[in-house]
Structure 1
């Protein structure tokens, strides 16, 4: 079986838990997830099965959409509702709707984030949460992320929901804390749901209950989405039958005469994804394979 399972990850499971369960239900070890969600977070988690595991890095790199709740007045050590409160300030004069919207707009575009201490970002070979648990100080690396869109969803001003469209690597917890700082209050993320990953949205996801029901009848494959849908953010090069043979044998090709907008890009024959190619770094007249698909 080869394809992408558009899973709705439930609360209480890690992303790795989901992979392990899918391995059992799909009876294969070739399973990989496409972007970690914390155990208390639910939402869209595409799972790659079989040959689809070859596109994990490409699907992980897509835009994500989240709905988060910002709680003003309390900061926590983990920047979410699971952590110990480390700072409090009574929200005696809640910010106005207009001031919240103005602050949200200030985060639009490419911004710098410092990842939370309780995260899996590595410094000198160790994860930040390992330093945090050992109470050891460490300098956290800054990273650039992009906020493509951010909207206020609720009218309550001391605990409000926002919708965020962002790049890979964005820590929504940190964004909530930084929003609170600009509003003059300690804050944390009190809730989070991921509603989109790339072209996968909440409306076309399946649950573990759906998978278990399908597995009882050996119909798991019907739940899988073709691999090409996981990389439809990449441009495509359509090829003929003769070129298909070269692609399937992992050969380099002459660069197409027309412009391809993305690098890497898809190589397709009759709507079937054959491979992912990229421009040759040393030979501008050639393109070379990055991934070739067997299924």
Structure 2
């Protein structure tokens, strides 16, 4: 049985948790070592990169990259989950009236670093228990606000003439951003309750929706033996890390986990910088870091093998 290695870009359908997707792909590929790069709620569709084989060691670096979403929020309705899958807790029976200029002014306030209070229906742990588990028991606890970054926030659609207006957005944001909470906070800034109605993740770990494969496509490609051609190589998946080359005489030492002098690599990285290390032939050796105190190049995750 083939053991795959690399990043598999999956198009997650609605109705599946991220763990469901991992279980599905494990069944298709007949391999256990698979990890996902960030949770998506069951009703959310879109990009879910899966790390196969030794690529699971790269999850932490992939999660650091910004994510892009297409979202729609409804004004005038609030729920306990902050989206329309939840129980309605408030509804403005008379409807809502807003105009385009009001919406654009409010959206301007959400650019850059903002503070969010994570929703109760989330997978965050507090005192050893998931928040959504507490929420299902009817328990609400105080959550600490955390800072996230909204790199881009673009208005893509407006339906203002209906009783409960809809606002559609494209959001490019840092990890840890709750789009449901962003939708609620936008409504609050407009002076009305709001809930997220639709969410699709369009970019994750630098992978776009156009590059993703459906379950059916993955099944077919695995059956005909060509799936490996569609996997993103481990080093290409972390292209945001600087590429550095090690001298031929020190490549073997690097693979043995030895710390190297900065003079053994080119270009010399900054102290504390995480890098991708290659030999003179372009072979990816692994993830290394220049230490803050000694300045040495130290291994973090070695991938290649000594020949």
Q: For the superposition of Structure 1 and Structure 2, which TM-score range results when normalised by the shorter chain?
A: over 0.9
Q: Is 2:72 the partner of 1:65?
A: no
Q: Is 2:289 the partner of 1:278?
A: yes
Decide whether the 8 Å contact of 1:14 with 1:37 is kept in 2.
Answer: yes
Name which of 237, 241, 260 aligns with 1:234: 241
For residues 192-271 of structure 1, the aligned pairs below 5 Å read: 192-255=199-262, 258-260=268-270, 263-269=273-279, 270-271=281-282
Structure 1 residues 8 and 219 mapped into 2: Cα distance closer, same or farther (>3 Å)?
same
Q: Is 2:113 the partner of 1:110?
A: yes
Decide whether the 8 Å contact of 1:199 with 1:229 is kept in 2.
Answer: no
Decide whether the 8 Å contact of 1:77 with 1:84 is kept in 2.
Answer: yes
Secondary structure of 1:253's counterpart equals: coil
Decide whether the 8 Å contact of 1:263 with 1:278 is kept in 2.
Answer: yes
Structure 1 residues 27 and 241 mapped into 2: Cα distance closer, same or farther (>3 Å)?
farther
Decide whether the 8 Å contact of 1:248 with 1:274 is kept in 2.
Answer: yes
Distance 2:242 2:204 in 1: 18
1:117 offset after TM fit, Å? 0.3
Alpha-carbon RMSD: 1.7
Decide whether the 8 Å contact of 1:235 with 1:260 is kept in 2.
Answer: no
Distance 2:136 2:63 in 1: 28
Decide whether the 8 Å contact of 2:80 with 2:88 is kept in 1.
Answer: yes
Q: Point out where structure 2 has 5 or more consecutive residues left out of the alignment.
A: none
- Runs of 4+ more than 6 Å apart: none
For residues 126-141 of structure 1, the aligned pairs below 5 Å read: 126-141=129-144
Scaled by the length of structure 2, the TM-score of the pair is: 0.91
Decide whether the 8 Å contact of 1:211 with 1:220 is kept in 2.
Answer: yes
Distance 1:116 1:265 in 2: 35
Decide whether the 8 Å contact of 2:272 with 2:291 is kept in 1.
Answer: no
Secondary structure of 1:102's counterpart equals: helix
Count of aligned pairs between the two proteins: 294
Q: Point out where structure 1 has 5 or more consecutive residues left out of the alignment.
A: none
Decide whether the 8 Å contact of 1:51 with 1:294 is kept in 2.
Answer: no
Q: Equivalent residue for 1:119?
A: 122
Scaled by the length of structure 1, the TM-score of the pair is: 0.94
Q: Equivalent residue for 2:78?
A: 75
CA displacement 1:41-76 (0-9 Å, x = unmatched):
110111111111110111011100000001101000
1:24 offset after TM fit, Å? 2.1
1:220 offset after TM fit, Å? 2.5
Secondary structure of 2:236's counterpart equals: helix
